[in-house]
Amino acid sequence: MRDTGEYLFTSESVSEGHPDKVADRISDTVLDAFLAADPYARVACETMVTTNRIILAGETRGPDTVTHEYLAHLARLAVHDIGYDQEGFSWRNAEVAVHLHAQSADIAVGVDAAGNKDEGAGDQGIMFGYACRETEDLMPAPLYYSHLILRRVSELRRNKDISVAGLQPDAKSQVTLRYVDGKPVGATSVVVSTQHDADVSLGRVRDMLLPIIRSSLPEGWMPSEDEIYINPTGTFVVGGPDGDCGLTGRKIIVDTYGGAAPHGGGAFSGKDPTKVDRSAAYVCRYLAKNVVAAGLAEKCTLQISYAIGVSHPLSVYVDLHGTGRDVNELKLEKTLRELVNLSPRGIREHLHLNRAIYAPTSAYGHFGRTPDEEKGTFTWEKTDLVPALKSAFNR
């Protein structure tokens, strides 16, 4: 995004009940099942959900105790947790088909450590990380508030709060902010669409959502009444996988930075941490966030590239967007490589990724979340490199 002048920028979010997010949740549930049984299991699970049907496909390498029957059971539990018990999509009677098979031996040879060869990347690819000072979580503000609105709706719905009675799991949001000289100063429009029971009127839906929108945005940021679009097509009764087919990995911009930063193209959910699509994207965010948290810059974009079967990154690139405070970007790139081993194995070990921690990442973004020491989730959001970075640049 530009750092000068005035402009509008928009990001969207989707709820855990959006069809693509249902698929992401099931794929990450499968991954967690394998990692709980064997921290070094290999998983690449894709999920498709449609009217009363769930299809799992992909490649795995793990213990025989993780059976297809068990995974089908976990898929139903994930759907139950999201809240789907509708005629067109229910955790009780949806047909679950599991088509997972053994990982390719050709891929395994490239990835596995052997002799003097360290573990290689699970695929080629470029990954990006980003951080900025627009919010306390060092995330782009349009995405942050899009997520926040839907998370608050979800929390109320899950707690069976009477204020949102009649709302169903499928929902989307979109927030447009006005920027002046690179800083957000207010919202010019907000869009929220949410599935609801047939007997809930559009007026009632609007009455439910307006207070949530208002409490989610900073004071003075609410757009005018005619720029708040709630269920703009009117009725939204048929939703979720019954209304639209869902697939793993189709919400990668929602998962990352809302379009405010580049994306390498790889999805996250259902992939074990030997896949650098996931683990390297996490370490990119980790490094970029620590750079900004250390006060070295107002914003930071970081790119790392890999080749399949090769243990070291082919490149590390840092862009401080002209906001670096007397920081040489070449020196910063070298310093970051010294602070963290950026091999696939080094990333997994530094961020403790070989654990069953992924289901919570499947909705409301993989970044800008709060690390949980007890559960071991979102370790890439820690800012524990700040002291070392400050020391390296005499801060």
The answer to whether 78 is annotated as binding is: no
SS3 228: strand
* Same structural domain, 10 and 32: no
Is 120 inside any structural domain? no
Tell me, what's the pLDDT at 106?
Answer: 58
Instruction: Please tell me whether 348 is known to bind a ligand.
Output: no
112 is in an annotated binding site: no
Q: For residue range 244-273, list pLDDT tens digits in order.
A: 999 999 999 999 999 999 999 999 999 999
Are the CB atoms for 300 and 291 separated by under 8 Å?
yes
Look up the pTM and report it.
0.95
> Is 79 in the same domain as 105?
yes
Per-residue pLDDT of the chain (395 residues; tens, 9 = 90+): 777 789 999 999 999 999 999 999 999 999 999 999 999 999 999 999 999 999 999 999 999 999 999 999 999 999 999 999 999 999 999 999 999 998 766 555 556 554 545 677 777 899 999 999 999 999 999 999 999 999 999 999 999 999 999 999 999 999 999 999 999 999 999 999 999 999 999 999 999 999 999 999 999 999 999 999 999 999 999 999 999 999 999 999 999 999 999 999 999 999 999 999 999 999 999 999 999 999 999 999 999 999 988 889 999 999 999 999 899 999 999 999 999 999 999 999 999 999 999 999 999 999 999 999 999 999 999 999 999 999 999 88
Q: pLDDT for 104-127, tens place per residue? A: 665 555 565 545 456 777 778 999
**144-159 burial, b for 16+ CB within 10 Å, e for fewer?**
bbbbbbbbbbbebbee
**Is 119 contained in some domain?**
no
8 A C-beta contact, residue 200 and residue 212: no
β-strand partners of 300: 131
How many whole angstroms separate alpha carbon 46 and alpha carbon 269? 8
Distance CA 235, CA 196 (A): 8
Annotated binding residue 151:
no
CB atoms within 10 A of CB 108: 15
Question: What pLDDT does residue 310 have?
Answer: 87
Cβ contacts of 203 within 8 Å, gap of 6 or more = none
Q: Is residue 271 marked as binding?
A: yes
Answer yes or no: is 267 a known binding residue: yes
341: in domain = yes
Query: Per the domain annotation, does 118 fall within a domain?
Result: no
**Residue 118 annotated as binding site:** no
Q: Say whether 20 counts as a known binding-site residue.
A: yes
- What pLDDT was estimated at residue 194? 97
69: its two tokens: 């029957």
User: What local confidence, expressed as pLDDT, does residue 116 receive?
Assistant: 47
Distance of alpha carbon 199 from alpha carbon 206, whole angstroms: 14
The CATH number given to whatever domain includes residue 357 is 3.30.300.10
103 among annotated binding-site residues: yes
Same domain, 85 and 148: no
Listing DSSP states for 287-318 in one string gives HHHHHHHTTS-SEEEEEEEE-BT-SS-SEEEE
Residue 172 known to bind ligand:
yes
Same domain, 225 and 370: no
Are residues 354 and 309 located together in one domain of the fold?
A: yes
User: Which residue range forms the structural domain that includes residue 320?
Assistant: 125-133+249-266+275-392
> Does the annotation flag 356 for ligand binding?
no
